[in-house]
Amino acid sequence: MEIKSLQKLFYQLYGREDPYPVEFYFAPGRICLIGEHIDYNGGWVMPAAISRGIYAGFRKEDNQIMWMRSGMDERDIVCSLAAEITYDESRGWGNYPLGVLSELQKKKIDLTGAELMFNSDLPIGAGLSSSACVEVLTAYMFAEQAGTPLDRTEIALIAQKAENNFIGVKCGIMDQFAVAHGKANNAILLNCDTLEHAYVPLKLGDYRLVVLNTNKQRQLSESKYHVRLAECQTALALLQSKTGILRLVQADPRDIDKCINDPVLRKRAHHVSSEQRRVQEAAAALRRGDIEAFGAILFASHRSLKEDYEVSGHELDTMVTGAQENPNCIGAKMSGAGFGGCAFALVKKDAIESFIVYIEQYYHRHTGRKGSAFMVDVVDGVHKLI
């Protein structure tokens, strides 16, 4: 998105008259390359920040009132930063930034009043972490404006707390961490237990990443997400009663078969254990520049998410199968929590345009729905634009 069009939108929403300049910020969305449903099981994940995201315009005010408007929603949200901030259903998307401000209040960060505008070229609620994006963006901007810039890991943790406590989704740390710590042309190899992380160069060679949006809302995804979380906790408890493991990602496949009788819980544990192995294999493949092997691991991950973890669905499966049937694609999987939202594919760069036409038609033919596909680059985490 061009700064000029952001400025134009800001002035349309708030007018020009004001002593303070408008400052602009950007936070990227993310895809989870590999390591799906691993973060809350305390293992290694590998996300990457993408070139679509959420933009914000920030104009400081000499008071403690915050106005929020968005290019995507008619709502006009006003809030006093001097009082305790609480969840309010009628504020819709506004609860994401408000949740972060409430966490910043607890940290005694000096919050300044502002006129705030959000705009996005990231599909919202589509599994590309639009919520983590707006949360990290809010924490970053307000901390910077308060003159107390926070460490990027601290920002990610504040954003996760807002999601856990204010919004009520018990997500792991992967999304917020990726949005905060993204690095251009690199994947982030993150240990969700210790937050130790390293960058793995994403040398895609002749291939590029294409996001495949099912345009299917992730219905009930939050409640199903919580069901998976509980299943993993039960599976871990069963394994712990007979083995010395601390985290489900440490489970040995033979122990899973021995210790867990329930077929559903056994499948969940197998996904976690095999996905963890795939993260290491994927990082090794990228490090040796074997993009084909990396692609094959993506297909294997999708299969496990579909069959063992059961978080895919007809729409996501159709996108991935369609991609797999195309000779210019060497890997694809769903990304994020699942139950709708987006998948992504690794596609030969010379064939991107024809691939996009192909996959949109394929998806429509098999689901009757209108999906969309677009190429993304891998970019830096949250930052100020001007």
- 121 as an active site residue: the answer is no
SS (H, E, C) 43-108: CEEEEEEEEEEEEEEEEECCCCEEEEEECCEEEEEEEECCCCCCCCHHHHHHHHHHHHHHHHHHCC
Q: Which of 293, 339, 347, 279 is nearest to 312 (CA)?
A: 339
CB of 371: closest distance to ligand GLA in angstroms? 20
Q: Report the residue number, 174 or 200, with the smaller CB distance to ligand GLA.
A: 174
Instruction: Give the integer Cα–Cα distance in Å for 138 and 125.
Output: 18
Q: Report the residue number, 111 or 232, with the smaller CB distance to ligand GLA.
A: 232
**Could you tell me which stretch among 31-39, 206-214, 239-247, 369-377 binds ligand GLA (CB under 6 A)?**
31-39
Question: Annotated catalytic residue: which of 76, 121, 175, 252?
Answer: 175
How many angstroms separate the first and last alpha carbons of the chain?
Answer: 13
- By CB under 6 A, what part of segment 192-211 binds ligand GLA? none
**Could you tell me which stretch among 32-40, 238-246, 250-258, 370-378 binds ligand GLA (CB under 6 A)?**
32-40
Q: Report the residue number, 164 or 240, with the smaller CB distance to ligand GLA.
A: 164
Q: What three-state secondary structure class fits 30?
A: strand
Compute φ and ψ for 112, nearest 5 degrees. -95, 145
Binding mask 34-73 for ligand GLA (x = CB under 6 A): --xx-xx---------------------------------
174 interacts with ligand GLA by CB under 6 A = yes
- Binders of ligand GLA: how many residues, by CB under 6 A? 11
**Cα distances (angstroms) measured from residue 108 to each of 66, 132, 139, 232:** 17, 22, 13, 36
Binding ligand GLA (rule: CB under 6 A), the pick from 53, 57, 113, 336 is 336
Q: Report the residue number, 104 or 171, with the smaller CB distance to ligand GLA.
A: 171
Instruction: Give the integer Cα–Cα distance in Å for 162 and 167.
Output: 7
Look up residue 274 and give its two tokens. 């095999």
Which positions are annotated as active-site residues?
175
**Chain residues in the site for ligand GLA (CB under 6 A):** 32, 36-37, 39-40, 171-172, 174-175, 336-337
